[in-house]
């Protein structure tokens, strides 16, 4: 099942990888036709490898324009990553989505008002103010719907997003008919206009990024508490609602300046992806916060740089794609929750558990053959008996036997298995742990003896030596003897079912 999922995953990744390549191939196929056209088109150069001078120019940031764009997107990515890590942990990742759509009517209304007031319609500050007001209105509506009606948060998000955006589209339809001023500049709010960012835009971005970073750092403790346990934060006297609003305000600020730079959809990506990627590397919020900022900044830098090199790659989209590839790398290789690390941990745990089950099963079988207190390790056990002892497949059992053999825990005697001296000591230790825990459960947790086996089975693999020592002192057992099992042994218990066939 899991394996099937993986092959699907790989296949899909390959498929998606092939798609853009085929796009390029298509293009080169039409190459000659294209050459002629490209004379007319402004952005007509096809995606060819840039000359060395171009590369040098971009890498050393010699070009003023490139410098401004790269600086702006880097700062933006950093701020968005930092704010995003809080919203991600607060499970509000898609709030940025709804919010950025909700800014459209505000922008349109601001444009109309500004035009009627006689000032230049595209005056940046008025548009930003309009965007902020309607963004906050959208967030307020979402929170109100969530609190007052029985609609769930996702529905509230979707409804606000589409209705506000629809209203914005309707207003844009009106604006297009206005005589004075033309609405062309408004489009950049939706698609972004990274390549043509000016000094003023970068200054606004820098200011907003500074506000966000300072805000996050100054209220780090409060926001942390808000993300992990808002109920506790409230009981400690923190103003939870105001903090929540503050966090949302930071999201609004970063989203609105970002709209200009990378466009609406791609701004959402910057809020979500760096934070989600950072989550794979650490379990600590402080580090996650820094890593997310770093990933966001790196995506801004690399994305804008790539876009400056290849004139046909739109920078907003490139920033996001760089971000996405970092996410994929983090998801696979992340040191805290990455797929590889988790798979390795799981395999290791499974092996430990299998080993312990094998040894304990052998110990119990031997025990039932001989006198209870002195298991005689010279007795050998048939595979059949072991198979009956637990519900494991022959394949799995044999694999574990091979591993135990490599560690010199068991050895074959003909077609029967036998514990080595080392294996016997280990098996005795494990069985002792298991039974100590069973006894503990019976004495202190008042569990019925018939039920303790499974409970102990679940926990025996993770018992630390200190806990075993504590159990010993609690149960007043002297060291190094294996207590008798407090319940009848199950499975192919030879005492209970002397004949081999009677096991079932």
Binding status of residue 93 toward other proteins by CB under 8 A: yes
How many other CB atoms are found less than 10 A from the CB of residue 419?
Answer: 27
Q: List the one residue from 86, 327, 437, 440 that touches other proteins (CB under 8 A).
A: 327
Contacts to other proteins from residues 351-410, by CB under 8 A:
none
| Tokens at 118, concatenated | 């006689």
Cβ proximity to other proteins, 166 vs 502, nearer residue: 166
Binding status of residue 10 toward other proteins by CB under 8 A: no
Query: What is the helix (H) or strand (E) element at residue 288, kind and residue range?
Result: helix 285-309
From the CB of 414, what's the least distance to other proteins, in Å? Answer: 45
With CA atoms as reference, report the closest residue to 307 among 53, 58, 51. 58
Binding status of residue 88 toward other proteins by CB under 8 A: yes
Binding status of residue 158 toward other proteins by CB under 8 A: yes
Cβ proximity to other proteins, 80 vs 436, nearer residue: 80
Binding status of residue 157 toward other proteins by CB under 8 A: yes
Query: What is the helix (H) or strand (E) element at residue 16, kind and residue range?
Result: helix 2-29
CA 155 to CA 145: how far, in whole Å?
A: 9
Cβ proximity to other proteins, 92 vs 355, nearer residue: 92
| Tokens at 163, concatenated | 């209705």
What is the x/- site pattern for other proteins, positions 285-304, by CB under 8 A? --------------------
- Would you give the distance in Å from CA 461 to the centre of its chain? 28
Binding status of residue 142 toward other proteins by CB under 8 A: no
Query: What is the helix (H) or strand (E) element at residue 416, kind and residue range?
Result: strand 416-419
Binding status of residue 193 toward other proteins by CB under 8 A: no
CA 183 to CA 21: how far, in whole Å?
A: 36
Which of the stretches 63-71, 154-162, 198-206, 445-453 binds other proteins when contact is defined by CB under 8 A? Answer: 154-162
Which string of DSSP letters, residue by residue, matches 48-73? PPPPHHHHHHHHTT-SHHHHHHHHHH
Q: List the one residue from 150, 395, 454, 479 that touches other proteins (CB under 8 A).
A: 150
Assess contact for 310 and 88: CB atoms under 8 A.
Answer: no
Q: Cα-flanking dihedrals φ and ψ of residue 484, to 5°?
A: -70, 150
Cβ proximity to other proteins, 312 vs 422, nearer residue: 312
Contacts to other proteins from residues 20-49, by CB under 8 A:
20, 22-24, 26-27, 30, 34, 37-38, 41, 43-44, 47
Which residues are 416's β-sheet partners? 382, 413
Q: List the one residue from 69, 272, 366, 441 that touches other proteins (CB under 8 A).
A: 272
Query: What is the helix (H) or strand (E) element at residue 37, kind and residue range?
Result: helix 31-38
Binding status of residue 8 toward other proteins by CB under 8 A: yes
Contacts to other proteins from residues 212-271, by CB under 8 A:
265-266, 268-269, 271
């Amino acid at each position: 099942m899991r394996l099937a999922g993986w092959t699907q995953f790989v296949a899909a990744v390959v498929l998606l990888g092939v798609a853009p390549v085929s796009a390029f191939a298509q293009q080169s196929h039409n190459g000659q036709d294209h050459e002629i056209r490209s004379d007319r088109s402004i952005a007509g150069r096809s995606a060819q490898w840039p000359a060395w001078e171009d590369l040098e120019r971009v890498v050393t940031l010699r070009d003023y324009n490139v410098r401004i764009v790269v600086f702006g997107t880097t700062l933006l990515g950093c701020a968005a990553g930092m704010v995003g890590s809080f919203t991600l942990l607060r499970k509000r990742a898609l709030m940025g989505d709804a919010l950025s759509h909700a800014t459209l009517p505000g922008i349109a209304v601001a444009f109309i008002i500004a035009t009627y007031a006689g000032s230049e319609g595209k005056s940046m500050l008025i548009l930003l103010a309009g965007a902020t007001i309607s963004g906050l209105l959208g967030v307020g509506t979402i929170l109100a719907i969530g609190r007052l009606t029985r609609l769930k948060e996702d529905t509230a998000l979707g409804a606000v997003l589409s209705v506000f955006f629809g209203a914005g589209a309707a207003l844009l339809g009106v604006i297009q008919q206005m005589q004075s001023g033309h609405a062309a500049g408004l489009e950049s709010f939706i698609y972004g206009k990274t390549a043509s960012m000016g000094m003023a835009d970068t200054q606004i971005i820098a200011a907003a990024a500074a506000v966000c970073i300072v805000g996050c750092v100054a209220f780090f403790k409060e926001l942390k508490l808000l993300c992990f346990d808002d109920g506790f934060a409230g009981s400690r006297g923190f103003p939870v609602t105001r903090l929540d609003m503050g966090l949302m305000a930071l999201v609004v600020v970063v989203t609105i300046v970002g709209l200009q730079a990378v466009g609406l959809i791609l701004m959402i990506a910057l809020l979500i992806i760096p934070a989600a990627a950072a989550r794979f590397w650490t379990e600590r919020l402080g580090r996650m916060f820094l890593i997310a900022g770093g990933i966001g900044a790196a995506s801004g830098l690399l994305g804008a740089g790539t876009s400056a090199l290849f004139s046909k790659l739109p920078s907003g989209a490139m920033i996001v794609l760089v971000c996405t590839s970092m996410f994929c790398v983090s998801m696979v290789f992340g040191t805290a929750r990455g797929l590889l690390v988790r798979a390795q941990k799981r395999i290791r745990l499974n092996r430990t558990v299998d080993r312990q089950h094998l040894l304990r099963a052998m110990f119990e079988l031997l025990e039932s053959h001989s006198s209870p207190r002195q298991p005689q390790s010279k007795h050998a056990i048939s595979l059949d008996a072991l198979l009956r002892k637990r519900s494991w497949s022959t394949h799995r059992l044999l694999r574990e036997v091979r591993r135990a053999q490599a560690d010199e825990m068991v050895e074959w005697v003909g077609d029967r298995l036998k514990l080595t001296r080392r294996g016997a000591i280990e098996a005795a230790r494990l069985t002792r742990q298991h039974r100590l825990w069973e006894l503990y459960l019976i004495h202190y947790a008042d569990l019925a003896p018939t039920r303790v086996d499974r409970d102990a089975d679940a926990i025996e693999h993770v018992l630390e030596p200190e806990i075993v020592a504590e159990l010993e002192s609690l149960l007043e057992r002297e060291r190094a003897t294996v207590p008798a099992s407090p319940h009848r042994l199950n499975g192919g218990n030879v005492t209970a079912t002397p004949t081999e066939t009677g096991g079932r």
